[in-house]
Structure 1
Amino acid sequence: MSNAWMSNAMRKWMVTAVLCGAAWAAAAQPVPWLLDYAGKSTNALIWDKRARPLVNAHVPKALARDVVDALGGPPDPVIVTDKRYVSMSACVAHACPVKGFFWIDTATGAALGANYDDGALRLGSNDFAADAVPEPALKALRDWIAEEQLRPASVEFIDRQGKSSKADVAAFAPPARFVPPEGGPSFDCAQAGNAIERAICGTPALALADLELTKLYTEIRHGHDTLAARAELQALQRQWLRERDKQCRAAADLPGCLLDQYRAQHKRLMNWLPGRHASIEPVENLPQTLHKAIGMGDEVGIDGLCKELAPMLVALMHGSGNVAKAEGALRSAQAKIQETANAVP
């Protein structure tokens, strides 16, 4: 074997090593631009032209495609912790039980991908081994599992070489949580601490209404992909809980009062959109009966108004709509409005 051949082979090997090393170094570089997506939709981030190559660079080939495909579906918000760690998640379009997750340390570029499908949780990273996953990544992963109410039955870790190893399922099990009975309520009646909670527990219709409202709230929350929208929804629900207690605490018919409150909030949530006023504000320069009709909102049933006026009132409740048209419709439906408005104090 000639020295020339050896020299040429060595040069090729060195060039290959340098190129691979450069590519690896580039993949492991800090990625501060990801922080700009804090609280925004995962879809907004994954469609950034830099995002998919980033996921493919850090997640093993055997897993990367599944993670990327899932991240392009119905999204969750982008979560940033400690102004450094970014996690994003979503589910496969038309198959939302199949979910994808990606976590990255923006300061170092080290990352982890995950895919969940029918109880099987697959993890993978080109940056660290199964026994060296950083604690912030594990915490973000566990938080995601808990938020999505996943129940991993098996956990697999895929390394940079594509080799797979089993992981301890217990390490990724979500914390124990109360499972409500089929007929409700959503909370543990053994922990009921006041008359309102005891009334809910003691009235089957109320218990079911409480459970159904909680399910609706959760569905709506998961249906919005920004932290701002979720925070707005949470504030609305908390405001309603305070109002529920205030209105019904001294009611002669406590179960009846509570049932009315639950029905009203159910309708309110069904019509809720982020960025619009859920509370009903007075509208200036409208007849007093229309003030009352708007003020009562869905709490006394907008569907009891005429079909023409109902959608206009809904629009006005949300801070939009055409006042002139509403006034015109009001005149033609004056009798019906007056009848309902008279029931409002």
Structure 2
Amino acid sequence: MTKSASESGTYVESGEFKRDTNYITTRITADGRDGYPVEAGRYRLVAARACPWANRTLIVRRLLGLENALSLGLCGPTHDRSSWTFDLDPGGVDPVLGIAKLRDAYLARFPDYPRGITVPAIVDIATGQVVTNDYAQITLDFSTEWTALHRPGAPLLYPEPLREEIDEVSLAIFRDVNNGVYRCGFAGAQDAYDKAYDRLFSRLDQLGERLEGQRYLVGDTITEADVRLFTTLVRFDPVYHGHFKCNRSKLSEMPVLWAYARDLYQTPGFGDTIDFGQIKTHYYVVHTDINPTRIVPKGPDLSGWLTPHGRESLGGRPFGDGTPPPPPVPSEQVPTPVLP
């Protein structure tokens, strides 16, 4: 979800980092009330494995079994000054949309689009126009509006009786953790950084206390809240601890959160969407005002992600009355899930 329409490498702000949260709020719904009905094969999800906000859509799409209904285009881990780009595809062109830059899909619908070109985005294949980039709503709609296309055994990630609690927990996670690491990394003043740092680790401590006696954040199954926390935790030691100066503790030094994150990583649909190489390349290469040399560090050792976590002792049913998703389709497999 990087501000890729701005000058490449300019991310640190003069004081406190403030995220632009104005997105394209068009929704794809079962009744098509915004003009875009849920329809198998009509849309293409454009994401990047490097981006935590896009990573959410990859996980939820996998868990719900939407692969056959919603095709996937993957941008590379870096982008140019104007747009995320399809560097991973032959000729640098998305084979379905026929474009080299995601920006083309935005401009096809909004010729004077004034904001950053962000992932994730869902594109209407026939028109080549972006439908939405509202990442927070996309995954909720996958759970509530795309139900007719869910796989048999799809879990309930946003169960109605728990939605108020999921929303409350998710808001705190967004404010202090998901966005909190960026408020540390992009702070342009010491006091802004200090404030963000304290809020981040205070919230992580609270989440650790919450998870000490329960396997998942809300209820006894995986929900949307777990997806939202996981995508930040999995990037914490490779990127945020050093690159964003979130260095009070590594994730691997916070026992409860480390075990919780490993539990999710080893759950089908989570770790099999993670490409640590792309994650590190994105942050260390793109943020040149933080890392002007663009040197990507070799560490840390990531093999610990596959070690036993012991969270089964807390009970819980990862998929509730549902079942695990099948393995990723071959074209979407991560080449190296864990680096040595």
TM bucket normalised to smaller? under 0.3
TM-score, length basis structure 2: 0.24
Higher strand share: 1
Higher helix share: 1
Could you say which structure has the larger radius of gyration?
1
